[in-house]
Structure formats: structure tokens, C-alpha cells
Chains A and B, each alone.
Chain A
């Protein structure tokens, strides 16, 4: 523990075992909060997968452009065939909202996967190998953690000369790498001296096999919890990036965060253009958070009374 910054964030006991998972699942199944989150996320994923068929129009087609008259502040209102009207460029707003779920899911999942993979590599290396590898990895992690994470994401996003959806995902995922790395390293370190690892070592099982067959699976609980929470933050942070002008400037393929961050200029005159994507983001982020928090509680051995 060098800078002691995120130490207290990790309330999860790293030795959470498989039996714990089973009992956790038992309790989760009966938790209305968890189920609410799961239902929200289920619907969200379903919509985003089906959105190309659900959307009534092409989200990139400015079909209502002749109704857009900027100076007179006319933005296509709700009308037959377009229940939510159009956006600033005359594109069907409902279609954009529906299809927007897809990119939003991609941003969330993409960011989580990259953050997780990066953290997995660094954390496993540090935790499993120890020694100078551990020190080096932890120094890198310390530097990254000594910056407020969202601020780091802003800085990374500003770094790309050619911003795109991918750079947004990178920016919000890189800041998660140290968090995952630390989580996994802690879990690995704790297990190094646990009975089952010692037993496996005594039986002559190879180090790699121990790491992958025993130590990693046992760290899965806290990683899943963290991933669920990252899914929520990634979506919200992507919106913040767009708001600061650091998001994906190409809006032909919609994404909720971008839709929300981009309409600040008309927020007071056309609040619905911001409110819809905002509500979608809030609901989905809430869904992930509800799942994550209940998972966290369920996996916390202290709660196993």
C-alpha cells in the first residue's frame, strides 16, 4: 500500500470462495433490488440487440431537414411517424434513441473489457510474480491513481489528435486499469498463502496452472462486482467527455452520452433533446449499479450471517 488511495475502496474480501458465490446467488435471487437491476439491464441489452429492427427510421438520415429552421428555432416536433420528432439535423429522434442503446452498450462493455484485460494482465503479473515486477507495476498503478480518475480520462481523451468512439472508450477504460490491477493483485497476494494454493504447490502443480486454475477463479467475485459498476461509470463518463467537447465528434451513429453532451446549446429551449438520452443513461446506469451493489453486498462475507 503505497499511496493508500484506493485501499479503502476495496471492501471485498479477496478470499471470497466458490461456496460464497453459491450462497450469494441464493440470496440475490430473492433480492428485489437485484432483480430490478437485472430486469433493467436485460431490457436494455435486448433493445440494443434488436434496435436495428425496432427503429422506425435510419438514425443517420436527415429526413426532416426541411422542417429544421435554425434561426426560427424550429426543431421537428412530434408528428405521425415520428413520435419524438426530430433532432437538430432533422433525424428521427426515436430511432436515434433506440439505436443509441447499441453504441452505449458498446461503450460500456468495451470500456469494461479493456479495463479488465489491462488490469488482469498487470494485476496477475504483479500478484503472481511478485518481486520487481510487482514493484514496477504498482509504481505505474500509483502514478495513474494519483490523478483523479475522471480528470485522467479527460486528459487521455484530449490526447488523441483524431477523436472517435474508440478514443472515448479508451479514455474511460484506461482509468479503470489500475483499479482492476489493484483488485486482482490484492486477491492474488492474499491467496498465495492460502491453504489450497499451498496445497497445490506442495503437490507440484505448475505456477501458471495454479494462477489460472486456482487463484484467478477465486478472484472472480470482486472482479464481477467491479465490472458491473464500471459499466455504469463508463457510460456516464462518456457523456461527460462529449459535454467537454472531448467525445466522438462524428454523430452519424448515435450514442446516448454523445446525444446528451452535444445538445447543451439548446438545453433550455428544447430540453427533451437532452432529457431523453439523460433518462436512458440514468436508468441503465442505475440498473448496473443496483446489480453491482447488491452483488457486492451478497459477496461480502461479513453479511453471511
Chain B
């Protein structure tokens, strides 16, 4: 199951300095970027998708396969600069905050039309915001309006769950004013998420867009989401041939920006990874996402373009201190760190470009502490630390997930094989349990059943809070840091840093926190950052790999 980076967002109530530059990621310059202009006109791009899109209304979308399709048809007020997590103008040409940071004025692009021919203007923008804010019933479910809940909080009729959003006013046709209840550094970058793309108000009304129903044990969506997505993007919805498992988009000839070169994009759903690879080799498809790291070299030597995204993730060995009191001893956790040969693991099991993690965030995030170095593999030291802690006969209940691959964890089985071997060499006994990712693994990890578990995180944006804040910002987290006295200290320090208005001061605080996490707390063992890839035929030009998997096919060409 492939989820995009954007599949997880947490609303971070950051009361911080308003600065788009906080999101700037310096290290993401792209080599594969096409200078544009060139490239043949016409043709069909066939992309191998790992799963069927759930629907075509990005507001209700939650998974990568759904976003990938929507992303080509819709645009938001802002977008991300190709290949980076940097915000750039999209449907809004300009955006300015008021002095208190709570009122934002968006100047809109003119002459933009929705796919149904209606005009894009400030009223349409406000209609969309009001639509999101006024979700009712099943539309408020976590499984449905996930992105709104995570980024904007509650809805109009949920007074117990406050919302970041206050109001939207159409000052004139090209000026929309959005008022917020709080100040957050996440705004306006959240508007670049595909979920907050602007839809045609006419189409939304006509096709009953908000009519989501909880039916039995799942949700059903209205015609808008299933058959009539209407945005402003370079491609229009054509058809979803369910019998043949293909989704087809065609070029929007009335697109306001640079028109797409391709006539069509076809998403061909091929759930089996090996089948995707073979389909690419056989010429059935032009590319697919997340090729198995073991195939990169082979694909390259066959002449395919393996576009490697910047590693914007962390893979860690989680430790839960709840059930085994020995794990609350720092020495024992340090012993685990010494016991794992991370360097060899990265070299042998992870793709080219993967790095040993020195802390819980990659170096492109503000607050990354450059002075930290990875602890060297030392099984003897691990043994002596265990002896010192009186834990020489340590037996741990360890979990690893089956039936899943994640960008940070390409093959859990092989990774676990390596880690388990190392731990056993250090004399730690393991009671190994494996469960399917969706069939109990996450549930058990959430319920503190394992002592050790494999997990990771793919970043949503470049703020440190999105990383360490997510992991340790609360004491009842997946590591149960509340068991140790420092758990509360750490959570408090994270909250303080997050609300620090001065950017350089904030960065300093995070660097300090990262140092403490690694040297004094060690709540889990960060293992690696590994770059996910995208593979394309060599004649496909203009697709820029993005750390947020925000690849747009608008500028792409074939041949």
C-alpha cells in the first residue's frame, strides 16, 4: 500500500513567527529538473498506480493514490515549488498577512476558469472554505475530512473542537480575505496541500458534493467525488473504467497557465509491485511510484530514469517503556543503540542515498543538530551496559509489520532480520511477533503491547515540530515517555520551542532538544533516512521528484 507523504498531517497549533521561509528547504535542489520549453506535444502518459483512487474530491482524500490523481486536476491557492517543500503562489498570485498574523489577504489569478466553464473568483474561494468549515454528520469523521481536522481543527457546529478558520470574505472578484482564530506558522503552506484545492462551486452544488454517508462499516461518497471532480488544473477528469482498472484524465485546453503537453494521462491500477515492474519493462506503463530499492540498479541499467526524491523521513526502532521496567533504564536503551549495526544495515538493506540517522529528523529540517554523530556499533559495549543495568538476561517482546512497505522501510522483513540478528548477538532474547500492518500491527503498537517495534515517519513540512513534536510532544505517545520523569520535561520543552516566535531562537531550542533526546533520553533508536524513488521511462521529461511526493504531470512530456 502506497501512501504519499501528504497522507499524514497533524495540525500543529503553532503560535509562531509568520514566515514562509521557515519552510524553505535549502538542500532540495533538483538535478533532474527539466528546463521547460522543450518536450514533444501530445501523447499519453500511462502511470502504474499501486491502488485504486478512493474518490476524486481531494477534500475527502486521505491516501497517496487518491491524491496523485486529484493533484493533476486541481490547484490550491498556493502550491509547492517543484522538488521542494517551499511554498509558491498558485491560484493566488500574492498573499499577505495582517500585522497580527490572523488576517490573510489573497490576490487571485485572473482569467481562470473551472473545467465546467464557470469563473474562478474570490466568491468561489470563500464558497470552498465555507464548504469545508460546514461539513456535517459523516463529513466530520476522522476518516473523511482528515486533512481539515488535522490542519484546521473543528467545524462550525462543533464548538467543543475549535477551528483555526474563522471567516472568508470576497472583497472583490480577485481579492479573498481569510481570517483565522489563531496564529500559526503552518499557514498558508497548508493551503498547498492537495486537500485544500479549489473546486467549482457550481459543480459542488450540482453534484451534491457534501452528501457523505456512513453506510455500514464504511462511507459512501456523492456523485461529485465519484464522477464529476471539477477543478482548474491542467487536466480534466475523463473516465474511471472500473472493469479495466484504469483512470483517464485529458488535457484541459482552457487551462490558464502553461497548457499541458500530454493529451492524456492514464492511471493503470496494478496492485502487485512485481507486476508494475514487469509492466514497465514490457512497455505497458511509462512509470510507477516507489520501485523496490533492490530494483533501482536493474531499472537504471535497463535505461529507465530512477528519480530519487530527497530523503524526508526517519526510520526508528521504537521502544515502549510501559511493560518492561528495565527499558526505563537509560543504560538498557543505550545498549540497544550500541547493539545495532546501523551502518551495515543502511549499506546492505536500504537504497542508495540512505543515511544513518543521528537524530529524529533529516538535516533539511530547521533545528537539526549538526554536532550530533551516530553512535558506533559496539556489541561488547552493549553487553557491558546491559550487565551494568542488571539486564543481562533481557527478554523483549518485539514487533515487526508484514504486508507493508513504507518509503522509510522498504522491506520490513529484511530490516527486522538484520536488527534482530544484531540484538541477539548482544545477548538480548527476543519474543518476536509479526502482524499485518492493517491487521493488528498498528493497533497493538498504539496499545503499548510490544516492547520494541519498527516504525517511522515521513515529514509533512520542514518544521521541527512536525517531527520531534509529533513523536514526543505528548507523554502518552507510542513510546510511553510519560513513564520516565524526563518525558514531561521533554514535552514541555517541545511546547516551548514550538511557541517561540523568534526563528533563530526556536532553531536553537530544537537543536538543544535533539541533543538531549539523543544523549540523555533516548526514547527510541533512530536508524536511518532513506530516499524514496519514482521510476519513469527515459522519454518522459519534466516530472520533478518532490520530497512531499507532490509530482505534477502538467509540465511533463513524452518522446
Contacts and interface: CB of A to CB of B under 8 A. Distances in A.
Given A265-B274, A265-B292, A70 B402 contact: no
Interface in B407-446: 410-411, 413-414, 417-418, 421, 432-436, 439-440
B315 to A, nearest CB: 14
Given A70-B351, A249-B413, A265-B273, A65 B418 contact: yes
A162 B296 contact: no
Interface stretch (A131-139, A170-178, A200-208, A266-274): A266-274
B274 A251 contact: no
Nearest to B436: A245
Given A65-B418, A269-B294, A269-B295, A162 B435 contact: yes
A108 interface: no
Contacts of A66: 344, 347-348
Contact of A90 (B296, B348, B435): B348
B352 A245 contact: no
A72 B421 CA distance: 23
A155 to B, nearest CB: 13
B433 A62 contact: no
B296 A71 contact: yes
Contacts, number: 83
B297 interface: yes
A171 B348 CA distance: 35
A129 interface: no
B298 A73 contact: yes
A66 B351 CA distance: 14
Contact of A69 (B273, B348, B417, B435): B348
B465 interface: no
Nearest to A88: B414
Nearest to B400: A249
B349 A70 contact: yes
Contacts of A262: 413
A273 to B, nearest CB: 11
Interface string B138-165: 0000000000000000000000000000
- Residue of B351, B353, B417, B440 ringed by the most chain A CB atoms within 10 A: B417
B435 A161 contact: yes
B90 interface: no
B293 interface: yes
A192 B294 CA distance: 63
A163 interface: yes
Contact of A89 (B278, B418, B440): B418
Nearest to B401: A249
- Residue of A70, A74, A90, A250 ringed by the most chain B CB atoms within 10 A: A70
Contact of A71 (B351, B417, B435): B351
B1 to A, nearest CB: 12
Contacts of A90: 348
B277 interface: yes
Nearest to B410: A70
B34 interface: no
Contacts of A252: 417
Contact of B296 (A61, A73, A250, A268): A73
A180 to B, nearest CB: 31
A68 B348 contact: yes
A62 B432 contact: no
Contacts of B278: 268
A267 B273 CA distance: 11
A268 B353 CA distance: 24
B378 interface: no
A251 B400 CA distance: 13
A61 B293 CA distance: 23
Interface in B268-319: 273-274, 277-278, 281, 292-298
A249 B274 contact: no
Chain A, interface SS category: loop
B548 interface: no
Nearest to A266: B294
B432 A250 contact: yes
Contacts of B421: 61-62
Contacts of B434: 162-163, 249-250
Given A73-B294, A249-B402, A268 B440 contact: no
B476 interface: no
Contact of A70 (B273, B277, B293, B417): B293
B350 to A, nearest CB: 7
A76 B54 CA distance: 41
A72 B297 contact: yes
Contact of A65 (B295, B348, B351, B433): B348
Interface string A74-98: 1000000000000011100000000
Contacts of A31: none
B403 interface: yes
Interface in A148-168: 161-163
Contacts of A23: none
A70 B350 contact: yes
A6 interface: no
B48 to A, nearest CB: 15
Contacts of B352: 71-72
Contacts of A268: 274, 277-278, 281
A198 to B, nearest CB: 55
Contacts of A266: 294
Contacts of B402: 163, 245, 249
A73 B295 CA distance: 6
Contact of A267 (B274, B349, B353, B433): B274
A66 to B, nearest CB: 7
A61 B422 CA distance: 11
Interface of A: 61-62, 65-66, 68-74, 88-90, 161-163, 245, 249-252, 262, 264-269
30 contacts: A61-B421, A62-B418, A65-B344, A66-B347, A68-B349, A70-B294, A70-B411, A71-B294, A71-B296, A71-B297, A72-B296, A72-B297, A72-B352, A73-B294, A73-B298, A89-B418, A90-B348, A162-B433, A162-B434, A163-B402, A245-B402, A245-B436, A251-B413, A251-B417, A252-B417, A266-B294, A267-B274, A268-B274, A268-B278, A269-B295
Interface of B: 273-274, 277-278, 281, 292-298, 344, 347-354, 402-403, 410-411, 413-414, 417-418, 421, 432-436, 439-440
